[in-house]
Structures are given as C-alpha cells and as structure tokens.
Amino acid sequence: MESIWLRNLSEAFGNGDIVRPDTVKENSPTLTDPVLLSSFVSKPAPKNEFPKEEIEPRAAYQLVHDELLLDGNSRQNLATLCQTWVEPEVRRLMDECFDKNMIDRDEYPQMAELESRCVRMVADLWNSPDAANARGCSTAGSSEAAILAGLALKAKSRQVARKLHGKPNLVCGPVHICWHKFARHFDVELRQIPCEGNRLMMSPEEVVKRCDENTIGVVPTLGLIFTLQYEPVQAIAFALDDLEEERGLDIPIHVDAASGGFVAPFIHPDLVWDFRIPRVKSINGSGHKFGLAPLGCAWVIWREARDLPDDLIFRVKYLGGHVPTIGLNFSRPGGQVACQYYNFVRLGLKGYAKVTQAASILVRG
C-alpha cells in the first residue's frame, strides 16, 4: 500500500523514480526534483538576513512568485492612472530591451534614436513651433519630468534681466506631490491656490494675485489629480500677458499634462493649452498613463532650445562616448521608450483617438 502511494506521488510530480522519505537528504535537491521537494519549502522566506545558501532557479522563482500573490490584481486597481494592460508585442519588446542601458548612446545608438524620435513626435503632438529641433527627454515618470521643468524655470529666472529679490516662488493649483517635493528640495516657495466653494482649480484672477517679482513660473495642470479637470491654461496666459503689460513681469508657464497630455490632443483637439500659447515654455506628460506605455515612461518637452538652460545639460564620457544627458536618472533600461515608439507607430492619431474615446465613454458610464 505504501509503495503504491509513493509511486503515485512521484508520478504526479513528473519524476519517474520512487522517492522514499528515508532516502531524501536535506539540502540536496537536483535539477530534476519538483519544486515541492526543494529544501526551501520548509524554511521561511529570507527577510532580515542575507541568505547563506543558494537554491535552484525554479524554487527561487516559485518563492518570489508566491510572495507576489499577496498583491492586488493591477487590472482591478481603479485608483491608478497607470497602464495595466499591454499588447503581447509590447511584452516582447520589453524582454528584448531589459539589458539595454539607454543612456549608453555609444553602444545602443538606435535606442537613443528612438528616444529622439519620440521627443519630436510628442513635440509635434503638443504643437511645438519647431518640433523637428525640439529639446526634451524621456524620464522615469512625470515626477522626474516635472522636477526637470521646475529646475529649468529656476535656472532661467537667473538669466533674465529681472533679478529676484527674495526666495523664488511657483504659483499652482491642486498639484501632484512631486511639486511639493521640488519646492522643498530646491528651496522654492510653492504658492498653492486653495479650492474654495465650487472652484476646484486655479483661476486667472487667483494666479495674478499671487505673482510678484520673485515668481519663476505658473504651473496649470491639464488633468487634476483628484478630478481630471483641465485648468484654464489659455485664460491664465491672457491674464499673465496683462500682468506683463501693467507691471513688466514676464512670467512663463509650465503645463503639467501628466494625465491630459495624451488625452486632450485626441478627443479635445480644439482646446488651446499647449505650445500654441507663446507663454507656455515647457510641458510634461506621462507615457505610462494614457500614452499606453509600460510603467516607467514620461516626457518633458521645452518650447525652444533657449527655454532649457545649458546649465542643465551634462556631457559625460563614462560609457565610451560623449553623452549629453538631461534627466536626473542615469542608467536605466530602454524598453519603455521602445514600447512608447511602438505605440506611436502602431496606433497613430486615429488609433489613440479610438482608445481615448472608448475610455472616456466608460468613465462617463
């Protein structure tokens, strides 16, 4: 009876040999052993100390895989604005690019070319006056992109004839936490317009009230984090035009389009919010939100080369060639950029419009 049970057990695990309990040696799994016979199953997962012994790949995978079963299902996460489904071709591209360091332009020049193409395409999508020569870069997310834009505003304020006489400030509405991080880390006062009554966003009147000679920029949001509303970029620009005429304060605009940058061009094409407004000097948008790229992809684009001070461009020789770099991060995989380019080629304006229109119908119910 015992031998039949052991034979059935071993055959169920795909092992043709009969395994008796008294013949199994501790810590002696082989490549043909099923995962359930590996020694790791009798021990807790490592948490506080570096493991002393190795285990076979299948067992390590199973351990980590099972740990991740405790996470929620991303497809059911209605609180995220990030991409949770991609086409099989995107997964293949991510697998093929996971080992390509996109900052190493000498070794992976085509990856750098794909990033440059995406920058020009996004600049064109946002109506840049000179998309073919646009300055911009991919980032790990819109937080990095926003911080880069903030740094450019601060650096630019040091170059203009109007000198600051106090702490630089930035005027905004209900913004993402990344702007609070930028203000704290880089010693900028964040003049945030509070929500009042039925007004849940910044208004031109409230913006002008908070601007002075130390204001380095105004940041309207195209797709507020709480309501996804578009703040009135064009109306704010008109109010700043009047302010410049009255007081001589030339204050630039950066549009935080993390959510709306890949929505408005497709379903609200007549809305003027982008580089069609001369006062808009930079825009950031998240490729991994409605740009449909995998997590870890965003973009920041400047209107003209002069709007990105040269002080923020670093040229290094670490990886075999002179690499001009703008981002805060250095080494990172290029898969997300390759997949963003794939989506641009795959969908085009019509395809993105279909996806965005379908999503808006679902949101409206």
CATH dotted code for 88-364: 3.40.640.10
Report which of 114, 115, 131 is spatially closest to residue 123, judged by C-alpha positions.
131
Residue 257 tokens, joined:
């389009």
Answer for the pair 280, 261: CB distance below 8 angstroms, yes or no. no
pLDDT digit string (tens) for 293-302?
999 999 999 9
3-state SS assignment for residue 293: coil
Report which of 248, 295, 303 is spatially closest to residue 279, judged by C-alpha positions.
303
Task: Please state the domain extents for the chain.
Answer: 2-68, 88-364
Local confidence band at 166 (pLDDT 50, 70, 90 cut-offs): confident
Q: How much is the pLDDT for 36?
A: 65
Please provide the DSSP assignment of 93-106 as one string.
HHHHHTT-BTT-TT
Highest averaged pLDDT of the listed ranges 8-12, 163-167, 260-264? 260-264
The Cβ-side half-sphere exposure at 123, using a 13 Å CA radius, reads 24
3-state SS assignment for residue 158: helix
State mean pLDDT over 304-309: 92
Q: How much is the pLDDT for 82?
A: 83
Local confidence band at 320 (pLDDT 50, 70, 90 cut-offs): low
Q: Name residues whose C-beta falls within 8 Å of residue 129's C-beta, 6 or more positions apart in sequence.
A: 275, 303, 304
pLDDT digit string (tens) for 19-37?
454 554 555 555 556 666 6
Among 46-55, 333-342, 354-363, which stretch is predicted with the lowest mean pLDDT? 354-363
Residue 79 tokens, joined:
């609180």
Q: How much is the pLDDT for 26?
A: 52
Q: How much is the pLDDT for 12?
A: 47
Local confidence band at 90 (pLDDT 50, 70, 90 cut-offs): very high
Give me the percent of the chain exceeding a pLDDT of 90.
62
pLDDT digit string (tens) for 183-218?
999 999 999 999 988 889 999 999 999 999 999 999
pLDDT digit string (tens) for 99-120?
998 887 778 889 999 999 999 9
Which pTM was predicted? 0.85
Residue 51 tokens, joined:
């493991």
pLDDT digit string (tens) for 120-141?
999 999 999 999 999 999 999 9
3-state SS assignment for residue 188: coil
Stronger pLDDT, 42 or 344, i.e. the higher one: 344
Stronger pLDDT, 5 or 232, i.e. the higher one: 232
State mean pLDDT over 81-103: 90
Please provide the DSSP assignment of 47-87 as one string.
-SS--SS---HHHHHHHHHHHHTTSPPGGG-TT--S-----
Q: How much is the pLDDT for 360?
A: 82
Q: How much is the pLDDT for 172?
A: 97
Q: How much is the pLDDT for 249?
A: 95
- Dist CA 59 CA 198 (whole Å): 57
